[in-house]
């Protein structure tokens, strides 16, 4: 059975479909050169004009190191101004950039830099007690390490040089091919060529390299602009990895609209929400641990609103439990958490709008140009933000069906109004006595138990039934729960008996990646 849904066209803010990423920087400067577009937790800020100036200085610094258009630069930096400016500088020089999330270590970073053929790896010398510089130098690639542990005194802690040394690269303003004014032939790195390589965030044994273009990463910002309504005057503090594909979507959205991003390199649940509040955010996000911290901070603060200007709470990376969404709505006076859905391969495919947040367990409607179809229960996608293919091209055949639709691996449905529901993963189905059981369906029920603070459901091998339903639970402080308690709760909630947990494992916390997804491969008992 096949059902489909597609988006109506939203505003494009005058951005050509084939614009290069650097053209967003030029347009932002031309529109509002003195508007602050980036700030951070260290009191620094950059206007649109300042961002262009700093990015050109850093691009010249990279050029002085011998990098040329088409070369691959890998970088593993926390969410700082340095990371954002480096992103833009790489775009200015026509480099292929490979952002790597900061939690990856020797095995992953070595695998990635070898696979992409990195000419340069940019890392902090040390970060949060780990020697990224030492690790990087052991990998056999040229390294630039930055001192990010010392408080910034002035300027950016990046290599820089006179922008006058940069070659002219007219293709960066939207032309199809890059060339230099010095007469040197540059590789044909146009807007339809691979310019960004992202890797899956560690939910599989070996991360997969996902190849994107300037056009596809810009299109990923449609969900932020059209769906969430992010625009001029909005302020969004970000404490999740800018190296995640959501980072470029947010940066593109800010450049397109004049909204402001405030970058936080460390998230401390006890102190960071208060520092975020000083920036008067209008947006808060983006995963369950963050929302719980915001709610706790507001309760410590008392009756006076800690975030008086907030109008949108954004969920991303992992579904937000309905209980958390309701709590956010009650505490902050918003409709609930606005959910979206996408993959590294096709980011921000769907999104709710602020007005329909909390209206049900959906991830909204398809974004501009996106089409969704359901084939045998699997959600499949086409859209302008679709990736080119994997770095390992042998994986491409399994990624698309015979008609060119991206196979997401997510189970779901589309209702009569075009809203998409994600109901689990093909690989996250427990097969018990030949019956398919959705782990996410059970998790939603478990999270409604008053003693359950967090929960994940996995299948464990069983000789008789094939697999057993195992609930992995974090209990709320001062409470207890038993397998029998959960069984009664699930049946009261209307869950079929064969779906009820047959085994209970209590843990202090669930292992999650930086975007909030539970790492279920670490929960096999």
Minimum mean pLDDT range among 389-398, 458-467, 501-510? 458-467
| pLDDT over threshold 80, residue 154 | no
Mean pLDDT over the full length of the chain: 88
The percent of residues above 70 in pLDDT, for the chain, comes to: 89
- Half-sphere exposure for 385 (CA within 13 Å, toward CB): 30
Q: Catalogue all structural domains in the chain, each as residue range(s) with its CATH number.
A: 2-34+41-214 (3.40.50.12780), 219-381+403-425 (3.40.50.12780), 433-522 (3.30.300.30)
Residue 37 structure tokens: 């577009």
pLDDT value at residue 433: 75
Nearest to 46, CA basis, from 32, 60, 63: 32
CB 313 within 8 A of CB 336: yes
Give the per-residue SS3 of 271-322: CHHHHHHCCCCCEEEECHHHHHHHHHHHHHHCCCCCCCCCCEEEECCCCCCH
Chain position carrying tokens 């293709």: 171
Give the per-residue SS3 of 320-352: CCHHHHHHHHHHHCCCCEECEECCCCCCCCEEC
pLDDT value at residue 179: 27
Band (pLDDT 50/70/90 cuts) for residue 382 is very high
CB 248 within 8 A of CB 214: no
The percent of residues above 90 in pLDDT, for the chain, comes to: 70
User: What does the buried/exposed string (b/e) look like for 142-179 if buried means 16 or more CB atoms within 10 Å of the residue's CB?
Assistant: ebbbbebeeebeeebebbbbebeebbebebbebeeebb
Residue 78 structure tokens: 């926390």
- Half-sphere exposure for 101 (CA within 13 Å, toward CB): 21
DSSP-derived 3-state class of residue 142 = coil
Is residue 32 exposed (0-12), middle (13-18) or buried (19+ Cβ within 10 Å)?
middle
pLDDT value at residue 213: 96
DSSP-derived 3-state class of residue 176 = coil
**Count of C-beta atoms within a 10 Å radius of residue 240:** 22
CB 485 within 8 A of CB 451: yes
Band (pLDDT 50/70/90 cuts) for residue 57 is very high
Nearest to 139, CA basis, from 164, 175, 114: 114
CB 507 within 8 A of CB 494: no
| pLDDT over threshold 90, residue 323 | no
Band (pLDDT 50/70/90 cuts) for residue 2 is low
CA-to-CA dists, residue 483 to 60, 451, 495, angstroms: 62, 12, 15
Is residue 417 exposed (0-12), middle (13-18) or buried (19+ Cβ within 10 Å)?
exposed
For the entire predicted model, the pTM comes to 0.83
Band (pLDDT 50/70/90 cuts) for residue 503 is very high
Band (pLDDT 50/70/90 cuts) for residue 515 is low
pLDDT one-digit tens code per residue, 67-94: 999 999 999 999 999 999 999 999 999 9
Band (pLDDT 50/70/90 cuts) for residue 282 is very high
Band (pLDDT 50/70/90 cuts) for residue 173 is very low
What is the C-alpha separation between 64 and 120, in angstroms, rounded? 13
CB 306 within 8 A of CB 274: yes
| pLDDT over threshold 60, residue 409 | yes
What is the C-alpha separation between 469 and 183, in angstroms, rounded? 65
What is the C-alpha separation between 96 and 137, in angstroms, rounded? 21
| Higher-scoring residue by pLDDT: 410, 36 | 36
């Amino acid at each position: 059975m096949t059902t489909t849904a597609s988006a109506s066209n939203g505003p494009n803010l005058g951005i050509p479909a084939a614009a290069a990423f650097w053209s967003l920087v030029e347009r932002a400067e031309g529109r509002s050169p003195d508007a602050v577009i980036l700030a951070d937790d260290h009191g620094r800020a950059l206007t649109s004009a300042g961002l262009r100036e700093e990015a050109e200085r850093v691009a010249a610094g990279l050029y002085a190191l011998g990098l040329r258009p088409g070369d691959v630069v890998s970088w593993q930096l926390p969410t700082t101004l340095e990371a954002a400016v480096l992103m833009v500088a790489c775009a200015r020089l026509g480099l292929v950039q490979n952002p790597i999330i900061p939690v990856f270590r020797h095995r992953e970073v070595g695998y990635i830099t070898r696979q992409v053929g990195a000419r340069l790896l940019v890392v902090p010398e040390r970060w949060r007690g780990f020697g990224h510089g030492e690790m990087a130098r052991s990998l056999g690639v040229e390294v630039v390490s930055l001192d990010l542990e010392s408080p910034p005194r002035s300027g950016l802690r990046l290599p820089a040089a006179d922008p006058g040394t940069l070659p002219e690269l007219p293709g960066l303003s939207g032309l199809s091919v890059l060339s230099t004014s010095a007469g040197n032939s540059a590789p044909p790195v146009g807007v339809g060529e691979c310019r960004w390589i992202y890797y899956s965030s560690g939910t599989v044994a070996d991360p997969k390299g996902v190849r994107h273009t300037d056009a596809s990463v810009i299109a990923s910002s449609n969900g932020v602009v059209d769906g969430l309504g992010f625009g001029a005057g909005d302020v969004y503090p970000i404490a999740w990895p800018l190296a995640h594909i959501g980072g470029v979507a947010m940066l593109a959205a800010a450049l397109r609209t004049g909204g402001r991003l405030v970058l936080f390199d460390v998230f401390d649940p006890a102190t960071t929400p208060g520092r975020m509040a000083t920036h008067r955010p209008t947006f808060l996000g983006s995963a369950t641990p963050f929302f719980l911290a915001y709610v706790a901070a507001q309760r410590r603060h008392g009756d006076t609103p800690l975030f008086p200007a907030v109008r949108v709470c954004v969920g991303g990376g992992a579904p937000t439990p309905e209980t958390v969404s309701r709590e956010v709505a009650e505490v902050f006076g918003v409709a609930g958490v606005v959910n979206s859905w996408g993959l590294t391969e096709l980011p921000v495919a769907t999104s709710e709008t602020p007005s329909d947040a909390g209206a049900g367990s959906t991830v909204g409607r398809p974004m501009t140009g996106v089409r969704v179809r359901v084939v045998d229960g699997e959600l499949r996608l086409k859209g302008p933000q679709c990736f080119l293919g994997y770095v390992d091209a042998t994986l491409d055949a399994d990624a698309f069906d015979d008609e060119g639709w991206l196979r997401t691996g997510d189970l779901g449905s589309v209702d009569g109004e075009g809203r998409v529901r994600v109901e689990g993963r093909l690989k996250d189905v427990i097969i018990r006595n030949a019956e398919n059981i959705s782990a996410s369906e059970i998790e939603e029920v478990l999270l409604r138990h008053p003693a359950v603070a967090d929960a994940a459901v996995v299948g464990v091998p069983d000789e008789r039934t094939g697999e057993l339903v195992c609930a992995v639970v974090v209990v709320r402080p001062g409470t207890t729960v038993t397998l029998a308690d959960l069984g009664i709760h699930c049946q009261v909630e209307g869950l079929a008996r064969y779906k009820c947990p047959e085994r209970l494992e209590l843990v202090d916390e669930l292992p999650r990646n930086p975007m909030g997804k539970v790492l279920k491969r670490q929960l096999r008992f």
